[in-house]
């Protein structure tokens, strides 16, 4: 089943409107909940007077609840940034998420990986730490960077004389930066979507879903031609939902889409529905959602 929650209310409203249609499908698309939706600094600026609950957001992240035909659920997380612990306390408890079955990383910046140490908090407790590791899917560049940031999370076995520590148990799996190299996670296929995150840096988005096609692109300044074709209505087929990076109301910015670029991308890609993440505190939840609704008519 594919429902989504990116800004807490915006996507959940979309989920409710489509609930009857989803119940009629034999193969349920995955449910989504975005545990974070704001920019890399993760909340309103320290000198900002904006303090409403709708702006108290965390780093962009997406939680996917994939229900198999036999009724089993698998929970897949895209990105574990600096606020991952807060996201767990805020959203995992609210949605009664019992565990994480897999993790996918878009890139190796702090807002995508610095919560990896906290993964142990959602893994089964065992005093000897001999638990089944959680699969985590990354490209080679991210793997190399995480190995420096968290060497103890990538070690395969203890060195002589090294004491056992309770750390997150992860099974690292390398994926490629190519729309032509999809990979399977817990029975759900993901297609990497390479995008530019500044002209000197490549990040990944992901396309997934069976009956409902969802593209998640949290950090982008430019779509390469092949990537945009893969998710466009006149290319790979119309998306049911595009979740897209939008940093400022006005741009440009060298490493992120701002609202004008995001709206232009929506016009080109033509998804059935689009939702924006990664916003700074200058966005006002209710006012700007109304403006976007008026724009999309």
Torsion of CA 17, 22, 24, 27, to 10 degrees: 170
Higher pLDDT, 14 or 97: 97
Higher pLDDT, 267 or 15: 267
Kindly report the backbone phi and psi dihedral angles of residue 38, in degrees, each rounded to the nearest multiple of 5, phi listed first: -105, -175
% of the chain at pLDDT higher than 90 = 67
Q: Predicted confidence band at 273 (pLDDT cuts at 50, 70, 90)?
A: very high
CB atoms within 10 A of CB 2: 24
Model pLDDT for residues 83-121, shown as the tens digit of each residue:
999 999 988 988 899 999 999 999 999 999 999 999 999
258 DSSP assignment: -
pLDDT at residue 52, rounded to an integer: 47
Look over the chain and give the mean of its residue pLDDT values, rounded to a whole number.
84
How far apart CA 149 and CA 169 sit, in angstroms, is 16
**Three-class SS state of 229:** helix
Q: H helices then E strands: how many in the chain?
A: 9, 12
pLDDT at residue 127, rounded to an integer: 80
Q: Is the pTM of this model over 0.75?
A: yes
Model pLDDT for residues 117-165, shown as the tens digit of each residue:
999 999 988 887 788 999 999 999 999 999 999 999 998 776 676 666 7
**Three-class SS state of 82:** coil
Model pLDDT for residues 178-234, shown as the tens digit of each residue:
999 999 999 999 999 999 999 999 999 999 998 899 999 999 999 999 999 999 999
Structural tokens at position 107: 């890139």
Sketch the domain layout of the chain as residue ranges. 10-295
- C-alpha distances out from residue 164 to 16, 56, 89, 129, 154, Å: 47, 37, 27, 8, 14
24 has pLDDT over 50: no
How far apart CA 32 and CA 259 sit, in angstroms, is 23
Model pLDDT for residues 176-193, shown as the tens digit of each residue:
999 999 999 999 999 999
Torsion of CA 244, 199, 283, 90, to 10 degrees: 60
CATH superfamily of 10-295: Ribonuclease Z/Hydroxyacylglutathione hydrolase-like (3.60.15.10)
């Amino acid at each position: 089943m594919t429902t989504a929650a990116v800004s807490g209310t915006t996507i959940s409203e979309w989920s409710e409107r489509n609930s009857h249609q989803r119940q009629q499908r034999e193969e349920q698309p995955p449910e989504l909940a975005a545990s974070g939706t704001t920019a890399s600094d993760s909340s309103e600026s320290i000198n900002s007077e904006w303090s409403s609950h709708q702006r108290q957001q965390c780093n962009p992240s997406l939680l996917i609840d994939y229900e198999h035909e036999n009724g089993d659920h698998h929970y897949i997380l895209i990105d574990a940034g600096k606020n991952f612990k807060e996201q767990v306390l805020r959203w995992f408890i609210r949605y009664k998420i019992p565990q994480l079955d897999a993790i996918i990383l878009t890139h190796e910046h702090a807002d995508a990986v610095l919560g990896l140490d906290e993964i142990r908090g959602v893994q089964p407790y065992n005093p000897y730490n001999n638990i089944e590791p959680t699969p985590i899917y990354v490209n080679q560049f991210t793997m190399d960077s995480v190995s420096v940031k968290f060497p103890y999370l990538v070690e395969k076995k203890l060195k002589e004389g090294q004491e056992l520590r309770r750390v997150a148990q992860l099974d690292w799996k390398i994926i490629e930066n190519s729309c032509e190299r999809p990979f399977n996670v817990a029975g759900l296929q993901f297609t990497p979507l390479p995008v530019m995150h500044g002209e000197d840096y490549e990040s990944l988005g992901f396309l997934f879903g069976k009956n409902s096609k969802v593209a998640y692109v949290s950090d982008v300044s430019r779509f390469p031609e092949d990537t945009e074709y893969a998710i466009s209505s006149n290319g790979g087929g119309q998306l049911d939902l595009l979740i897209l990076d939008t940093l400022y109301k006005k741009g440009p910015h060298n490493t992120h889409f701002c609202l004008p670029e995001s709206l232009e991308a929506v016009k080109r890609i033509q998804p059935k529905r689009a939702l924006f993440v990664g916003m700074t505190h200058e966005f006002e939840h209710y006012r700007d959602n109304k403006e976007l609704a008026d724009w999309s008519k």
